[in-house]
Amino acid sequence: MDSDKTKTANTSAEETQKAGTKKSASGAAKNSSTNSSSSASSGTSGSSTSSTSMMQSSQTSGPKDYSQEATKDGPLYKFFLDGLKDMYFAEKHILEALPKMKAAATTEELQDAFEDHHLVTQKQVSRLEKVFKTIEEKPEGKKCEAIIGILKEGESIIQETEEGTMTRDAALIIAAQKVEHYEIASYGGLVALAETLGLERAADLLQTTLEEEEETDLDLTDIAESFINFRAAGEDEDDDSEDYEYDDDDDDPGLVL
Ligand SMILES: [Fe+2]
Ligand SMILES: [Fe+2]
């Protein structure tokens, strides 16, 4: 079970790296821009169509000459901007959820991990604001049903698992990794789109966040596999927190919101 999870996490990280790696940004976004440029250049006539300015730009400059100015009215730029708004909304919701996850966690290791990621997430919100600024857009969120659903599932895990158990932590880690994987997929795509659109500064900022999410995902895997999953496997229905000696510090700092 554990090795499967590691494999999944590693595979995901590798795939995302491929999507997000700046030099080889070859994600769907890049492909779609290539497609739209080739369809533009192989149009049936040179007469004006209902094409966007992005397509007009393609006809004259080719795919490698995209610039912020040339694409700002195009659908790909709008999709990119929507993606940023989606993540701005998502990060703010994650900021609200992390303290609850920390409060629900059994082990100090997981509590610390959630607290650390809360700090990282605060920086990511600021970094997203910087991204908006670099492309001269106002930072605003757009409702993201995906993150609402993923976080809701995390809440139900807290309801469904016994307080003070390792099973609670094993389940919380998986819930948190679902959040991270959503973020990894989203930021990986945004990096690729920013590169395609020639928004280098935005791509750099988003790449930094992408790497933080990947690191968090791997850290969570490490915590799960170091002892939590193993001990959770030994739990039965009547176990509670007093049965565990996961921490040699008897003065558990408790949960601080
Ligand atoms: Fe994040
Ligand atoms: Fe995250």
Report yes or no on 1 lying in a domain.
no
Report yes or no on 62 lying in a domain.
no
Report yes or no on 84 lying in a domain.
yes
b/e map 134-155, b = 16+ CB within 10 Å: bbeeeeebeebeebeebbeebe
Calpha distance 202→50 (Å, rounded)? 29
> Bigger pLDDT: 22 or 171?
171
Q: How many A from CA of 50 to the centre of ligand 2?
A: 40
Q: How many A from CA of 217 to the centre of ligand 2?
A: 8
Q: How many A from CA of 124 to the centre of ligand 2?
A: 9
Report yes or no on 246 lying in a domain.
no
Which range of residues forms the domain containing residue 207? 75-233
Calpha distance 53→71 (Å, rounded)? 7
Q: How many A from CA of 141 to the centre of ligand 2?
A: 17
Neighbours of ion ligand 1 (CB under 5 A): 121, 124, 183
Q: How many A from CA of 117 to the centre of ligand 2?
A: 7
Q: How many A from CA of 91 to the centre of ligand 1?
A: 5
> Bigger pLDDT: 71 or 101?
101
Q: What is the number of domains present in the chain?
A: 1
23 pLDDT exceeds 50?
Answer: no
Residue 126 corresponds to which tokens in the numbers above? 């600021």
Q: What is the pLDDT of residues 82-129, one digit of tens each?
A: 999 999 999 999 999 999 999 999 999 999 999 999 999 999 999 999
Report yes or no on 21 lying in a domain.
no
Residue 147 corresponds to which tokens in the numbers above? 């993150």
Q: What is the pLDDT of residues 158-214, one digit of tens each?
A: 999 999 999 999 999 999 999 999 999 999 999 999 999 999 999 999 999 999 999
> Bigger pLDDT: 78 or 17?
78
Q: How many A from CA of 182 to the centre of ligand 1?
A: 9
Q: What is the pLDDT of residues 217-254, one digit of tens each?
A: 999 999 999 999 988 998 887 655 444 444 444 343 33
Calpha distance 165→221 (Å, rounded)? 18
Report yes or no on 52 lying in a domain.
no
The residue count of the chain comes to 257
The pLDDT of residue 231 is: 86
| Residue at token pair 């919101």 | 257
Q: Nearest CA to 215 among 4, 1, 20, 26? A: 20
Calpha distance 227→56 (Å, rounded)? 58
CATH number for the domain that contains residue 192: 1.20.1260.10
Calpha distance 109→185 (Å, rounded)? 26
| Residue at token pair 């990282």 | 120
Q: How many A from CA of 63 to the centre of ligand 2?
A: 33
Q: Is the pTM of this model over 0.75?
A: no
The pLDDT of residue 69 is: 57
Q: How many A from CA of 216 to the centre of ligand 2?
A: 7
3-state helix, strand, coil in the chain (%, to 5): 75, 0, 25
Q: How many A from CA of 168 to the centre of ligand 1?
A: 22
The percentage of the chain sitting over the pLDDT mark of 90, rounded to a whole number, equals 60
Residue type, 18: K
